Amino acid sequence: MATILRDLSYRYQWLYDGISRVAAISVGGEARFRQLALKGLTIHSDTQVLDLCCGSGQSTQFLVKYSQNVTGLDASPRSLQRARQNVPEAAYVEAFAEKMPFTDNSFDVVHTSAALHEMQSEQLQQIIQEVYRVLKPGGVFTLVDFHAPTNPIFWPGVSLFLLLFETETAWQLIKTDLPVLLSEIGFNVDQSTLYAGGSLQVIQAKK
Ligand SMILES: C[S@@+](CC[C@H](N)C(=O)[O-])C[C@H]1O[C@@H](n2cnc3c(N)ncnc32)[C@H](O)[C@@H]1O
């Protein structure tokens, strides 16, 4: 069931964007959701930014407002085709996040939104290691994704959402202590902030 609905939402961008818009109400709307992970970051026009698992450019459209050097990476040719149309200001690369075609120390900022919950745990580790590799020393990994609600009122909504649209990897992610995982890989976790009754986490970690 969940995979059918997720596949449908990937096939029809209006459906994906509609679901995101409704889910983002919990943090004050889509524009706010899309910029949660950018809070407090310094991004100049020449800052090298990677939008990892960029999808159809949903967050890339905000990143290009700050930097002229934004690259979106995704494994899905269909999403990338849409991203190229939606946000032509960025460059795009089709690749897997766990094996990125970039040299070491390439980016000042790696951003990822709503993607890590799709990864198996070993894959998640590989991706974080890859992010560490491609970030410049002092560069920042900033992410937003699901988290286990800390306010019980949010559990029914989050559970329903995960049951309808996600797979077991999302349930695994909310049981994972991402700040600890990031630290084990070598990051210094600067900030870890919860939103929407704890159901969303934003983490900023420095290489
Ligand atoms: C839920 S979408 C998130 C898209 C966008 N970042 C957003 O905030 O709406 C997850 C994206 O991750 C991509 N993805 C999943 N696994 C991937 C992998 N191993 N490597 C690269 N991209 C991947 C999918 O193709 C999809 O576009």
Answer yes or no: is pLDDT of 32 > 70.
yes
Q: Indicate the top mutation candidate among 53, 94, 99 to test ligand 1's pocket, ranked by most ligand atoms within 8 A of CB.
A: 53
Answer yes or no: is pLDDT of 6 > 80.
no
Q: What angle do CA 202, 64, 24 make, to 5 degrees?
A: 40
- Structural domains in the chain (count): 1
CB 148 within 8 A of CB 173: no
Q: What angle do CA 173, 190, 63 make, to 5 degrees?
A: 75
pLDDT band at 201 (very low <50, low <70, confident <90, very high): very high
Answer yes or no: is pLDDT of 19 > 80.
no
Q: How many CB atoms neighbour CB 171 within 10 A?
A: 15
Q: How many CB atoms neighbour CB 46 within 10 A?
A: 9
Burial 142-157 (b: 16+ CB within 10 A, else e): bbbbbbbbeeeebeee
What distance in Å separates the CA atoms of residue 12 and residue 178, rounded to the nearest whole number? 31
What does the pLDDT look like over 103-123, one tens digit per residue?
999 999 999 999 999 999 999
What distance in Å separates the CA atoms of residue 15 and residue 185, rounded to the nearest whole number? 36
Closest atom of ligand 1 to 119 CA is 16
Question: Does ligand 1 come within 6 angstroms of the Cβ of 113?
Answer: yes
**Helices assigned H by DSSP within 36-192:** 60-66, 77-86, 121-134, 155-165, 168-175, 178-185
- Spatial strand order of the sheet with 200-206 comes to 91-94, 69-74, 48-52, 107-113, 135-146, 200-206, 188-195
Question: Residue 147: helix, strand or coil by DSSP?
Answer: coil
Write out the E strands in the chain.
48-52, 69-74, 91-94, 107-113, 135-146, 188-195, 200-206
pLDDT band at 1 (very low <50, low <70, confident <90, very high): low
Range of the domain at 193: 4-206
Q: What angle do CA 204, 66, 52 make, to 5 degrees?
A: 50
For the record, the structure tokens of 115 come out as 């993607």
Question: Does ligand 1 come within 6 angstroms of the Cβ of 97?
Answer: yes
Q: Indicate the top mutation candidate among 11, 13, 74, 78 to test ligand 1's pocket, ranked by most ligand atoms within 8 A of CB.
A: 74
Answer yes or no: is pLDDT of 189 > 80.
yes
